[in-house]
């Protein structure tokens, strides 16, 4: 995927499966563990495959939200037939997510690039009370439904 983000609400028709509140980066460990146990696993899966990609993208988006968007932050996992959606909500509607160029290696700023590469679609929108950054993933037909 290129380095673009859709400006608009999350795609319609998804059913929320889980959500997690985050007050600090320490809370991410619980989210990662819950996601890893919720998402179906493929033996020998790489980071390019959906379960691992979702966990990594959630980690990056939630870290950005905690760092730049103020707390508390919430993470929502939803699904519809053949697709998974994550929505990370922070409390800074006036701070737009942006791709950062020119930082030295190790200087940060690569989370959105990584999310754009791994997700099928990346987007965001703001409300009066917060900002939503979301990522949508297509799920292999071999992967069972999360609600099964």
Q: Containing domain of residue 12, as a range?
A: 6-138
Residue 148 lies in a domain: no
Residue 143 lies in a domain: no
The pTM of this model reads 0.85
Apex 21 CA angle, 35 and 100, nearest 5: 80
Asked if residues 72 and 22 have their Cβ atoms less than 8 Å apart, the reply is yes
Residue 145 lies in a domain: no
Residue 146 lies in a domain: no
Query: Among residues of the chain, what percentage have pLDDT more than 70?
Result: 79
The CATH number given to whatever domain includes residue 64 is 3.30.565.10
Residue 114 lies in a domain: yes
Give me the helix-helix angle, 50-68 and 111-118, nearest 10°.
150
Q: How many domains does the chain have?
A: 1
pLDDT digit string, tens, across residues 58-104:
999 999 999 998 779 999 999 998 899 999 999 999 999 988 876 66
C-alpha distances out from residue 94 to 23, 47, 52, 122, Å? 20, 32, 31, 19
The values of phi and psi at residue 128, to 5°, are -65, -30
């Amino acid at each position: 995927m290129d380095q673009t983000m859709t400006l608009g609400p999350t795609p319609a028709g998804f059913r929320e499966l889980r959500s997690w509140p985050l007050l600090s980066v320490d809370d991410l460990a619980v989210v990662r563990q819950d996601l890893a146990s919720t998402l179906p696993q493929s033996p020998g899966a790489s980071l390019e495959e959906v379960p691992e990609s979702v966990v990594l993208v959630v980690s990056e988006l939630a870290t950005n939200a905690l760092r730049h968007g103020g707390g508390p932050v919430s993470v929502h996992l939803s699904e519809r037939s053949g697709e998974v959606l994550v929505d990370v909500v922070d409390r800074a509607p006036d701070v737009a997510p942006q791709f950062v160029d020119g930082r030295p290696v190790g200087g940060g700023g690569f989370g959105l690039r990584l999310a754009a590469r791994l997700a099928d679609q990346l987007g965001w929108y703001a409300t009066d009370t917060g900002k939503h950054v979301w990522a949508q993933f297509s799920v292999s037909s071999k992967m069972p439904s999360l609600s099964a």
